[in-house]
Structure 1
Amino acid sequence: MVKKFVLYLMIILIGGGCAALPPLPPPVEQTLLPPDLVLPQKPEQEETYTLGPQDGLRITIYDNPDLSREVVVSADGSFVYPLIGQVQATGLTVRQLEQELTRRLADGYLVEPQVSVTVTQYQSQKVYVLGAVRSPGIYTLRQDTTLLELISKAGGPTGDAGLEVLVVKASEATPEGKNLPLIRVDLEKLLAGEIQQPIAIGEADTIYVPQQRYFFVYGEVQRPGRYPLERNTTVFKAITLAGGFTRFAAKRRLKVQRVIDEVPQEFHAQMNDRLQAEDILVVPQSYF
């Protein structure tokens, strides 16, 4: 009779330890961008873009292909064009340069010339590479600059870089900086050259490499410790990363310690529950 009572008491204790804890809620969507990140202004359209040194231009004269040229604005802000000689471009918009070329070509050279100017290389345009890179800062955007090249220019990711790269499109951001349009890119695949589709980078875009986020596994697992958090990491995956259960693990009494609104709380966890950054997964020891 005593043995049966002790066994019954043990069952109550084991079951009660789980029942006393609330179930683990879904992870809160955590922004990977720092709260103090200041986004640059939206880029201007090409027609209103202000030209500067080293900008590449394609100048087309309708019905006069022999006068069409590709030029680069020199350090003094000008370029040389057939018939009319030196043309000052720095400080002008694309539309203003078209008007200037039209005026000068019509002055004794062509009848009602139709001039089109296209920017082929935005040497004056800048992008921002920030976060866990060795040399964060402002970098020049060329027409064919890739995301990988920009990260390389910034010295590459640091040792504590996370698993993703975030591209914030300045052309789509709201003035309040809310609901930012993010392009998420797998950093490891990007560095390995496994991403075939090019990632469009525009003027004033921000490329942000977040620091790695972690969760913790303690208790009756083979390798307790800290582990990198990937997207949609479940309790099952966390235990697998930690080498699996020991033979003393209480597999039905898994707990997760999570800070919510700056208050540490404890929850009962199931294998398919998802973890978030800084979660502590605890695998208790079995009573017998």
Structure 2
Amino acid sequence: MTRFRTALIVLSLALTTGCTSAQGGMSALPTLAAGEYRLGAGDEIRVTVYGLDPMNNSYVVGDAGTISMPLIETIAVDGKTIPEVESAIASAISARQLVARAPSVSAQIQKYRPFFIMGEVQRPGQYPYVPGLTVNSAVSIAGGYTFRANTKAVVIKRKTKTGMVKGQTGPDGQVWPGDTIEVSESWF
């Protein structure tokens, strides 16, 4: 009878230990549709303004979420989409009356801010983001999983408009620029 109780206790402990996780209380990760990408510190954009050659250049979004441009000075771009940035630059040009007609502004992303990967991968660290990145491709960039890695799920920390979000996703989960991917150990 004592062996039966001991086995029952060990079994119940094993089951409850497997069910508990440090990842409890996580939210669902938001997805990113085409054209919804929002700029953040570390992104680099190329701006072209027809007729105002001194403004045509590449600009890196600083820690304050701004870019500094000649003739119009500082523009806040953190959390804005490319069309919103084009509109903000055009408004600043119009406000300063730098051109007679409505300014023609074009902007595009030159370089995305990096993503970070840590835990059970061969080479944890910071890597350049490429559009369409998934967890599998991010792990490949980091040299692959270690022999003890959980290959079925990872935790991603992501900055959104409402703050920092932490969620769990599988190997085909979408990775955004600035994400931190945590690959944990597998217990089985």
Scaled to the shorter chain, the TM-score interval is 0.5 to 0.7
TM-score in terms of structure 2 length: 0.58
Q: 2:29 aligns with which of 12, 21, 24?
A: 24
Matched, 1:243 2:143: yes
Task: Kindly tell me the number of residue pairs found equivalent between the two proteins.
Answer: 143
TM-score in terms of structure 1 length: 0.40
Equivalents in 1 of 2:32, 2:109: separation in Å? 22
CA contact (8 A) 2:155 2:168 kept: yes
Query: Cα distance, 1:3 vs. partner?
Result: 2.7
CA contact (8 A) 1:255 1:283 kept: yes
CA contact (8 A) 1:17 1:253 kept: no
CA offsets 1:239-263 (integer angstroms, 9 cap, x no match): 1111111111122341001122352
Q: 1:4 aligns with which of 1, 11, 30?
A: 11
Query: Cα distance, 1:267 vs. partner?
Result: 0.3
**What residue number does 1:153 align with?**
none
Question: What letter is aligned with 2:114?
Answer: Y
Equivalents in 1 of 2:162, 2:146: separation in Å? 32
Query: Cα distance, 1:10 vs. partner?
Result: 2.6
How well do the aligned residues superpose, as a CA RMSD in angstroms? 4.0
Alignment of 1:52-71 (within 5 A): none
**Structure with greater Cα Rg:** 1
CA contact (8 A) 1:32 1:210 kept: no
**What residue number does 1:220 align with?**
120
Matched, 1:273 2:170: no
CA contact (8 A) 1:225 1:242 kept: yes
Alignment of 1:136-147 (within 5 A): none
Equivalents in 2 of 1:265, 1:207: separation in Å? 28
In the alignment, structure 1 segments of 5+ residues that lack a partner are 44-124, 138-165, 179-202
CA offsets 1:198-240 (integer angstroms, 9 cap, x no match): xxxxx96656663441100000001100111111111111111
Equivalents in 1 of 2:155, 2:172: separation in Å? 13
Equivalents in 1 of 2:28, 2:108: separation in Å? 34
Equivalents in 2 of 1:32, 1:175: separation in Å? 13
Higher relative contact order at CA 8 Å, sep ≥6: structure 1 or structure 2? Answer: 2
Matched, 1:129 2:56: yes
Equivalents in 2 of 1:6, 1:175: separation in Å? 59
Alignment of 1:1-288 (within 5 A): 1=7, 2-13=9-20, 16=21, 20-27=25-32, 29-31=36-38, 40=49, 127=53, 128-131=55-58, 177=90, 206=106, 210-261=110-161, 263-287=163-187
Query: Cα distance, 1:11 vs. partner?
Result: 2.3
